[in-house]
Amino acid sequence: MWHNRSIGELADSLGRGEISSVDLVRHFLARIEALNPALNAVITLTAGQALAEAAVADRRRAAGASGPLLGIPLIHKDIFCTDGVRTSCGSRMLDNFVAPYDATVVAKLRDAGAVMLGKANMDEFAMGSSNETSFYGPVRNPWDKDKVPGGSSGGSAAAVAARLAPFATGTDTGGSIRQPAALTGTTGIKPTYGRVSRHGMIAFASSLDQAGVFARSAADAAIVLQAIAGFDPKDSTSVDLPVPDYCATLQAPLRGLRIGLVKEFADGLEAGNAALLAAAVAVFRALGAETSEVSLPSLPLSVPTYYVVAPAECSSNLSRFDGVRFGHRCDAPKDLMDLYKRSRGEGFGAEVKRRIMTGTYVLSAGYFDAYYLKAQKARQLITDEFRAAFERVDVLLGPTTPTPAFPIGAKIDDPVTMYLNDIYTIGANLAGLPALSAPCGYVDGLPMGMQLIGPHFAETRLLNAAHQFQLATDWHNKAAPGYAE
C-alpha cells in the first residue's frame, strides 16, 4: 500500500508514472477521513487545496520537472503560518486566525512541490509534553489510544505513526519533536538552532524554538531537512552557512565513530528502556563505532534552567495576544482593562497561563537576578560541558524519554512530573545542538526511542549514524497495530 512506502519510494513511483500525485493525495485524504476521528491528530483538513497543489505537481512532472518531494503529501504542525488557512497554535486565542502569509518552512516545502494535506493538533502554543493542553482536545497515540503521543508536536508524530502522511513538520523547544517521536515509533530530528528559519513559526521561547521533521526513517528525514534548511534574511537568528547534502553521507560506514554514553542519562531511566538502550549500543559497536562514558555534571540542571528561561521568553512573546489586534476578543468589554483581562483569560488555557505567570515572576525587578540571570549562567555551564564533550567524542547517545507513553490524564494535574518527561531532551535545546530520536524497540508493546546529539551543524553525522542503525534494525518500519493495512 502507498502509505507504507518511504518518501524515496513514493518519489520513484511518481517519476515512473505508477501513480499520480492527485491519486496519492486522495489516498492519504481518505486515510485521514477514516482514521483521524479516533486520533484527533489533524485539526484542519485542506482537501481542496491539496488536490489543486497535487494537480500542479503532476503537471510539473509531465513537463519534465523532478524532485524528491514533488507531489509528496505532508502535514504541518499548526504552529506554522499557512497563507489563507487557519493557524491556531492549538489555542482558543487563535481559533479564528487565518494567516496572511506562509512561514519560510511552509514556503520552502511548497517550492519543493510537497503538498499540504492539513494542519496537525498540538499542545497549546507548544507548551506541553503530552499533547493534552490543546484547545481541540488531546491527541491519542496510535499504538494505544488510551495513551498520550507526547508533545508538543504530538499531532504531527501521531499522523506519521498512523501513516496519515509520509512526513510532517514539528517544532522542538525542549524536546517537542524527539519526545513524541520516541513515544510513537517515528524518527524525529531537531536541527541546530539557526539552521532552519523560524520566520512564520509562532514563537514560544525564541532562543530555544527550532523547526524540524517527523518521518518514518532517517533517510526520509534527510530528504525533508534538505528542503527546509538554509539561511533566511527574514529571521535574524538564521545562520548564513552552506547547507550540506544530507543524503550524500547516509551510506558512510560508522567504523571509528566515537560515541559518548552520557553518565547522567542513567538517572531516572526505567529498566526496560535501559535494556533497549544497551541493545542499541551493541548494534553501534557491531557497526564499528567506539563507545566511551562521558559526564555532563551540570546536565541535571537543565530542567529547572529551562523552566525559568522558557517561561520568561513565553511571557514576553505572548504579551502580543491582547484581544486588540488579532485573536480571541471577549464579548462586550466594559473598558480597555476588562478587554485585556477577559480576552487573555478566556483565550489562554491553564498551562499557558501557568508559564506566563512564572515567566513574568522571574523577570520582575526583585527576582531577575535570583532566577533568570542564574538560569542563564547555568545554561552557559551546560553549553560549555557539551562543547568539551565533543572534543572527545563525535556524537552522544542516550535515551529520549525515561518511560514509554503514559495514560491520558495521568500527569496533566501534576505539572512538575509532566515537566520531567523532557529530562533527557532539554539540554540540547539549551545548548542549541542538533539532536535526533529514532525507534529502538518496545516496552510493554509501546515504542521507545534512542537519542543522538551532535555538535553544532553536525546533522549529517546524526542522520548517517541513525540511518546505519536503521539498516541494521527494523524498528522504524514497524506500524502500530491496525495502521499498516
pLDDT of residue 421: 87
Rounded to two decimals, the pTM is 0.97
* Domain range list for the chain: 2-258+391-477
Average pLDDT over residues 444-453: 97
Average pLDDT over residues 179-188: 98
User: Residue with C-alpha cell 545548548?
Assistant: 431
Average pLDDT over residues 435-448: 97
pLDDT, tens only, 351-366: 999 999 999 999 998 8
pLDDT, tens only, 7-16: 999 999 999 9
pLDDT, tens only, 288-312: 999 999 999 999 999 999 999 999 9
pLDDT, tens only, 385-418: 999 999 999 999 999 999 999 999 999 999 888 9
Per-residue pLDDT band for 81 (boundaries 50, 70, 90) equals very high
Per-residue pLDDT band for 419 (boundaries 50, 70, 90) equals confident
pLDDT of residue 286: 98
Average pLDDT over residues 320-342: 94
pLDDT of residue 268: 81
pLDDT, tens only, 43-76: 999 999 999 999 999 999 999 999 999 999 999 9
pLDDT of residue 21: 98
Q: Does the domain at residues 2-258+391-477 carry the CATH identifier 3.90.1300.10?
A: yes
Indicate whether 420 pLDDT > 90. no
Q: Which residues are catalytic?
A: 77, 152, 176
Per-residue pLDDT band for 473 (boundaries 50, 70, 90) equals very high
pLDDT of residue 325: 85
Average pLDDT over residues 140-151: 98
Q: What percent of the chain has pLDDT over 90?
A: 96
